[in-house]
């Protein structure tokens, strides 16, 4: 099977393309040459095992997922695969790409500080649980939270 593939014109076309352009990914080869991804993968594997091409480096096409292998022509040592990003690095990159995420994080931290400061907060879904409930719900009638057991349910107190 390997000898059959080596005689195919696609094999030589991939080699010539990698000679002319130093680093290409399998996706670049597929688009440039019009060869299916399945065949590109098979040819690259065969060429790599034969020592005709090497892994020249890696490229990150997106902030998520693993890096894309970049192939080069020649019999050189393969580049080392980069270490995966830590969760902190991913979060930092996400915040840089999404300014809205920064605003959401600010409001989340602000809400957390408020909860810590007002530790007497109780479950807001249950009417009649005390004055802390009345402070937290805008437009809430304090008489509903009298604790007498005859509470009324308003629009904000529906479950």
Give domain status of residue 153, yes or no: no
Q: Examine residue 17 and state whether it is found in any structural domain, yes or no.
A: yes
- Provide the 10 A C-beta neighbour count for residue 43: 24
Percent share of the chain, pLDDT over 70: 69
18, 44 Cβ separation under 8 angstroms: no
Domain that holds residue 127: 87-146
Rounded Cα–Cα distance for residues 75 and 40 (Å)? 19
Looking at residue 126, its pLDDT comes to 53
Residue 141 is predicted with a pLDDT of 54
For residues 64 and 31, membership in a common domain is answered with yes
Same domain, 13 and 69: yes
N- to C-terminal Cα separation, the chain: 67
Query: Longest Cα pair distance anywhere in the chain, in angstroms?
Result: 91
pLDDT of 125: 54
Q: Which residue has the tokens 């060429």?
A: 47
Statement to judge: residues 91 and 68 lie in one domain = no
Torsion of CA 38, 39, 42, 45, to 10 degrees: -100
Q: Are residues 50 and 111 located together in one domain of the fold?
A: no
Instruction: Give yes or no: residues 95 and 132 share one domain.
Output: yes
pLDDT of res. 151: 44
Q: Kindly give the confidence (pLDDT) of every residue in the chain, 159 residues in length, as a single tens digit, with 9 standing for 90 and above.
A: 555 666 788 889 999 999 998 899 999 999 999 999 999 999 999 999 999 999 999 998 776 778 899 999 999 999 999 888 888 988 887 777 777 877 887 888 888 888 877 765 545 555 554 455 455 555 555 555 544 444 444 455 444
pLDDT at 66: 84
pTM: 0.54
Residues 118 and 59 in one domain: no
Residue 158 located in a structural domain: no
64 within some domain: yes
């Amino acid at each position: 099977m390997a000898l059959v593939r080596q005689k195919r014109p696609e094999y030589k076309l991939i080699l010539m393309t990698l000679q002319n352009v130093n680093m290409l990914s399998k996706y670049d080869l597929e688009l440039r040459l019009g060869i299916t991804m399945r065949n590109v993968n098979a040819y690259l594997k065969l060429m790599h095992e034969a020592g005709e091409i090497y892994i020249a480096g890696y490229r990150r096409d997106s902030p998520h997922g693993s890096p894309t292998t970049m192939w080069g022509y020649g019999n050189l040592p393969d580049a080392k695969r980069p270490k995966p990003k830590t969760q902190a690095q991913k979060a930092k990159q996400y915040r840089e790409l999404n300014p809205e995420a920064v605003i959401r994080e600010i409001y989340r931290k602000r809400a957390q500080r408020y909860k810590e400061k007002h530790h007497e907060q109780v479950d807001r879904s249950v009417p009649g649980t005390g004055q802390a409930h009345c402070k937290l719900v805008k437009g809430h009638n304090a008489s509903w939270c009298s604790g007498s057991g005859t509470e009324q349910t308003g629009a904000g107190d529906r479950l």
